[in-house]
Chains A and B, each alone.
Chain A
Amino acid sequence: MLSSILVEPGFFGSQPVRTALVVGAVVALVSGCVGVFTVIRGQSFAGEALSDMGTLGGSGAYLVGVSPLWGYVGVGMVVAGTMELFGVQRRRGRDVATGIVLGAMLGLSALFLYWDTVDHSTTGATITILFGSLFTVSGVTVPATIVLGIVGLGAVALLYRPLLLTSLNTDLAAARGIPVRRVGLAFLVLMGVSVSLSSVAVGTILGTALLIGPAATALRLTRRPGLAMLVAGGIGIAVTWLGILLSYDSYYWPPAKKGWPVSFFVVAAIFLFYLAVDAWTWWRSRSIRASRGDRAVRVHRPDPEARDEVPCSRV
């Protein structure tokens, strides 16, 4: 049977697997919805910076013995507020300053991660924070992730229309009485929460992959903003579950025979899915253009009788 080839025995019976499936789905849904707005607003760079700086929070939290999630969220809030204060949301804004601060933060993270490793005499902390691990999500992190995810989804739904208009054109939004700066700050905070959640799933380095990848793919497939969020969430859930499944299956794979990381499979699936959709839309637009070209030639012929005449372009 196909299912027994795809799914190794004991998959659904395993508690870590079931937790990973639920947490992964919540994270993917939030990332997809927030990601659509991140791409529309051109704030992928801010997302990347938020995620990278989360490393500092995660490693710091590990050091004092609490869940890295709290570190991610704490740092996310502070960084989001700072970004709004200095207006560095977009790449073109204050490039150098952002680069220097980001570098300093990551340097500090390196120190914290080193202490974590020495303290616990294991590289587990570094791997968990940088690359995530859905199978090791446990304890209070599980309900905390789900609750934060639901709050995030609620916030997107609440802000949907003002956020859409602000993302499109700030003058247009301001003229409708929308407080553009406050909406911008709310979105940065929302992005902070979203990358914190995806850092739990795929780590701080890959955090934006889940935010940007499914959203960018969805924008290729639909013309409606609400639908784009649903499609992005759907793609996110599909790639996350596929990653969990393949990671579980890979337990006896070489070289270490201890399984491949979920994050690898998730990010690989996002990448391949994007390429496939890109190729498909390119092929489709090419065939549409070809059929339009046909019609244009017919329209421009003034008289069906004159078909045999030499076209102007060849004269």
Chain B
Amino acid sequence: MSSDPRAPIDETLLSVDGVSVWLGGRQVLDEVSFCIRKGEFTGLIGSNGAGKTTLFRVILGLLKPNGGTVHLDGQDLGRSSRSIGYVPQKVVVDPDVPLRSRDLVALGLDGNRFGFAVPRRARNEAIDAMLDAVDATRFANARVGSLSGGELQRVLIAHALMSRPKLLLLDEPLANLDIRSEQEVVTLLGKVAAEQQIAVLLSAHDMNPLLEVMDRVVYLANGHAATGSTEEVVRTEVLSELYGHPVAVLHVHDRIVVVAGPAPG
């Protein structure tokens, strides 16, 4: 059993084996394979249209791949899994929608059940604690549609964490955030992964904000994936082969820049 307390910390949680997906006559993913260990922070890096969202939909069980398998905790994925928390990309909520931050967090707990929720003290305390954990207490009673980008991301993370998942998927959560909120969200996720032993898989087109917290990188290009530590993957040879085109990986101070064309010098 995976709940054995003596289980090693580097046990595999998610394994994606040879997943291929065709959408509208185009091959989006071609034999993509990688695995994620428990409590690990993984960055899924790729440009727009590289297939990051498609890969998430496969992992969530919302899209059946044309080939390959996905296992979570050693078990084949069913139609959808409660053990995965999900923050979709570009969540836009109209300011008119009568829903407070705490209501959205509550829907993460039991939004799939029928009928109205019975307000119990334990339930309210769990919601308050989660709002506090993501530092969202200040706008707990504000309308979701009135929140800033960074505030909304924190509430969505709280929503996803309410079902006590083993894996948290975040699709481009840093897009459209200002630099300060970006750093706050990354720090929060790093804390969640470390403290609660939740594996985080976060997609982004820029890896730089993640360098501090990232244990592993899955680099997606041309439908193929390369995986390993940042040092192993983000190298001129590896990425040139992945893109099928010469690229150069430049280190500028502590930042990494990937540009087209052969390495200078």
Contacts and interface: CB of A to CB of B under 8 A. Distances in A.
A39 interface: yes
A176 interface: yes
A291 to B, nearest CB: 17
B97 interface: yes
Contact of A219 (B79, B84, B98): B98
A157 B100 contact: no
Main secondary structure of the interface of B (DSSP, over half): loop
A216 B107 CA distance: 23
Given A223-B98, A224-B103, 17 more contacts: A36-B98, A39-B96, A40-B97, A158-B114, A161-B107, A169-B88, A171-B86, A171-B88, A172-B86, A173-B111, A174-B60, A175-B86, A223-B100, A224-B100, A225-B99, A225-B103, A227-B98
Interface in B122-172: 141-144, 156, 159, 163
Contacts of B144: 168
Main secondary structure of the interface of A (DSSP, over half): helix
A224 B106 CA distance: 12
A190 to B, nearest CB: 14
B110 interface: yes
A218 B25 CA distance: 47
Interface in A135-175: 157-162, 164-165, 167-169, 171-175
A150 to B, nearest CB: 16
14 contacts: A157-B116, A161-B112, A167-B97, A169-B91, A169-B93, A173-B111, A174-B80, A175-B86, A176-B80, A176-B112, A178-B111, A178-B112, A224-B100, A228-B98
Nearest to B143: A223
Contact of A175 (B80, B104, B115, B117): B80
B136 to A, nearest CB: 15
Contacts of B163: 176
B141 A162 contact: no
A226 interface: yes
B120 interface: no
B82 interface: yes
A161 B117 contact: yes
Contacts of B251: none
Nearest to B89: A171
B113 interface: yes
Interface residues of A, number: 33
The 4 A-B residue pairs with the shortest CB-CB distance, nearest first, are A175-B86, A171-B88, A228-B98, A165-B111
Nearest to A166: B111
Contacts of B259: none
Contacts of A15: none
Contacts of A161: 107, 110-117
A220 B95 CA distance: 10
Contact of A172 (B84, B91, B115, B142): B91
A168 B97 contact: yes
A39 B112 CA distance: 21
A222 interface: yes
Interface string A109-147: 000000000000000000000000000000000000000
Contacts of A218: 98
A114 B64 CA distance: 53
A254 interface: no
B188 interface: no
A255 interface: no
B82 to A, nearest CB: 7
B62 interface: yes
Contacts of A159: 114
